[in-house]
Amino acid sequence: MRAWIFPVFSLLLAGVVTFFHVTNPVEGGEVANPMLWASDGWTEWVQMTPEAAERRLPQGAEVPTTTWVRAFFDEAGHGVWHTENAWSVLPDGWDQRTWRGGWLSGSEASLARWEERPGEMAARWREGEDGTALHRTDFGWQFQGEGVLFWPELDMGCGKDNASVRPTLFAPRGAGAPSDWWSGRLGEAPTDFASLDLTFCEAGIRVSAWGTRWEDGGRWHVEPQWREDFQALATARGWSISWEGYDVIVNGSPDWTWAVLEDERTGQTPSSTWTGSAMDNGVVVWVPQRADEMDDVRSSPNPVAVNLGTARDGVVGRVRNHRTASEMTLSLGAETLLAAQDNGAAVWSMTLASPLLVGGALEVDVYANGKYQAMFCEPSALHLVDVKGREVSGFPLKPARGEWTAWALVDYENTRKYRYLVASGASGLVENFRGEGERTTGWKHRPGDGVDVSSPIRHIRHLRLGSKDYLYVGRENGQVELLKRNGSTRATTPVRVDPRHAPVFRKGANLDRTSVLYVDETGWVREFTLGQGEEVGLSGLTRADRIEKRDVDKDGRDEIVTWLRGERSVWNARNEQVN
């Protein structure tokens, strides 16, 4: 064979290999995270599950298999979407191309805007769960995950605060008061209720950068020399205004009352009350307020167990009272559960037959109408009680035989389509209800081989890992089941968890990156991955009689908190003791 044939053949072979590599990248290979490469031209960055992405895309679009969909948008309306695998059918008008092991998709004009030039946005991105988002605002950068971080821009122009003294801040109360408002310095809150401030500035009128803002309205301190100009601006704009001393109230109501706020940064949404804190480096951290003994956010749309065991006395939860636009504290004393306002006034009470199961009292909006109820469970009944102390129609839910041994309130998509999961001590199975106590269709708890259903269920928790839902079911004998939404087994785990204390989880993208922490029978903290059962993290490093997870330093990230005979220890993500 002629010698020149070999290099030509090699060149052709290399070309063929290159063609197949470029047009058919291997799925499951190393995929770069675009959040580390995107430019500041994209002013909104979002991380979503495939299911969440489909809700933002044209109807009928089928997102390819991927752990996360990451999307980038600019102010001109362009958008680029990143997935791990290629689209089999693209939405109309879209194209796609390979990028660092994954795929970028969008309109031709949008893809043309993609460039690898990380800047301020990339520096502020933090990996998180579904719905994590970063926005460039008029006043800085806002990152939203489980909490909210805000980096104010030092030269904010209209938003610059030259006042040496912060005025008193107020929260609106009473009939018709907004359910969504934020109090603090201009631009630092996780909302876009700042358009009026820009209007004041453009008109040359100085108001305090500190104020309370709601949609199309707010309350600000205005110096007397600006009052006449402000009145003229309001008339020109068609605003209704009133005055409380030197404070102007725009588009409010004379029927409202005003409560003085002790914290200088406070927010209220239909589902949570938020508190903001300014750190030494200028970052403002917003987190939902938490009840003293809760593992996760109070009034969260996806509630989790309160780490109270079966304690007879003490606070078990906080629930909003829509009639007074304030919150009630639910506490146990003797055999009575009492709901009371913060001033101590009793709202309702209920006599209990036995101690509450782990989970405390959680807020529910069962009719999705902004009128709230409290859900709690004792072994004899699952209760759903309205603000007048009455059981909602269909409640209490009582077991057909025996007692309930565990319960959980789950809202998979944060849409107030709740599921009430209760464990039957008689059958050893989880039962599933919804609405006014109807059984959830399609549910059947089907334990896997080797599961001992005679061992009572002690803990039920919902975990969203990547794009998948897992229902954690922990039994008295330490066995753990991981179920799908329909009650069948999604996965198995070799981990056995001591049931005497509520488990705590460090969540990752999948089971191998998710761990469960618990206190073993000897009093030592143990931590194992749910996938392979690998012992990791805090396991064996400390003793405890209780574990919880909370954002102690208000940096937007939860720490693990262990308690031993009343002494608290705080551990960061690197398992270093930080207190």
Confidence of residue 9 (pLDDT cuts 50, 70, 90): very low
Any idea where the domains of the chain sit in the sequence? 25-136, 158-288, 290-443
Residue 513 DSSP SS3: helix
**What is the pLDDT, as a whole number, of residue 25?**
40
pLDDT at residue 383 tops 70: yes
Closest CA to 314 of 369, 355, 285: 355
Tokens of residue 119, six digits: 């800047």
Q: What is the pTM of this model?
A: 0.50
Q: What is the largest CA-CA distance in the chain?
A: 100
Q: Quick one: CA dihedral 325, 342, 267, 212, positive or negative?
A: positive
- Rounded CA-CA distance 553/307 in Å is 20
**What's the CA angle centered on 388, arms 387 and 392, to 5 degrees?**
75
Highest mean pLDDT among 145-149, 515-519, 542-546: 515-519
**What is the pLDDT, as a whole number, of residue 273?**
83
Contact 473, 430 (CB under 8 A): yes
Contact 384, 367 (CB under 8 A): no
Q: What is the DSSP letter of 294?
A: B
Confidence of residue 415 (pLDDT cuts 50, 70, 90): confident
Neighbours of 2 (CB within 10 A): 6
Which of residues 193 and 507 earns the better pLDDT score?
507
- Rounded CA-CA distance 36/31 in Å is 12
175-179: average pLDDT: 87
Sheet with 373-378: strands ordered across: 362-364, 373-378, 381-385
Q: Quick one: CA dihedral 194, 273, 297, 153, positive or negative?
A: positive
380-405: average pLDDT: 95
Confidence of residue 277 (pLDDT cuts 50, 70, 90): confident
**What is the pLDDT, as a whole number, of residue 147?**
63
Name the E strands within 356-456: 362-364, 373-378, 381-385, 404-410, 419-424, 430-434, 438-439
**What is the pLDDT, as a whole number, of residue 175?**
83
466-490: average pLDDT: 96
Q: Quick one: CA dihedral 346, 347, 351, 356, positive or negative?
A: negative
452-471: average pLDDT: 95
Give the tens place of pLDDT for each residue, 56-105. 887 778 899 999 999 999 988 899 999 999 999 999 899 999 999 999 99
pLDDT at residue 408 tops 70: yes
pLDDT at residue 192 tops 50: yes
Lowest mean pLDDT segment, chosen from 69-83, 106-120, 124-138, 498-512: 124-138
Q: What is the DSSP letter of 39?
A: B
**What is the pLDDT, as a whole number, of residue 467?**
87
Q: Percentage of residues in the chain with pLDDT exceeding 90?
A: 53
pLDDT at residue 299 tops 70: no
Backbone angles phi, psi at 543, to 5 degrees: -100, 160
- Go through the chain and tell me how many residues it has: 579
Which of residues 559 and 287 earns the better pLDDT score?
559
Tell me the angle at which helices 195-202 and 227-237 cross, rounded to the nearest 10 degrees.
120
Can you tell me which residue has the tokens 């068609």? 238
pLDDT at residue 354 tops 50: yes
Contact 329, 315 (CB under 8 A): yes
Confidence of residue 289 (pLDDT cuts 50, 70, 90): low
31 CB contacts (<8 Å, ≥6 apart)? 84, 100, 101, 102
Confidence of residue 22 (pLDDT cuts 50, 70, 90): very low
- The answer to whether the peptide bond before residue 355 is cis (omega within 30 degrees of 0) is no
pLDDT at residue 163 tops 80: no
Mean pLDDT for all residues in the chain = 84
- Rounded CA-CA distance 316/356 in Å is 9
Highest mean pLDDT among 104-113, 202-211, 271-280: 104-113
250-278: average pLDDT: 85
**What is the pLDDT, as a whole number, of residue 427?**
96
**What is the pLDDT, as a whole number, of residue 496?**
96
**What is the pLDDT, as a whole number, of residue 45?**
94
Contact 305, 314 (CB under 8 A): no
270 alpha carbon, distance to own chain's centre: 14
pLDDT at residue 307 tops 80: no
Give the tens place of pLDDT for each residue, 422-436. 999 999 999 999 999
Confidence of residue 280 (pLDDT cuts 50, 70, 90): low
Contact 188, 265 (CB under 8 A): yes
pLDDT at residue 288 tops 90: no
pLDDT at residue 235 tops 60: yes
CB-facing half-sphere around the CA of 262: CA atoms within 13 A: 0
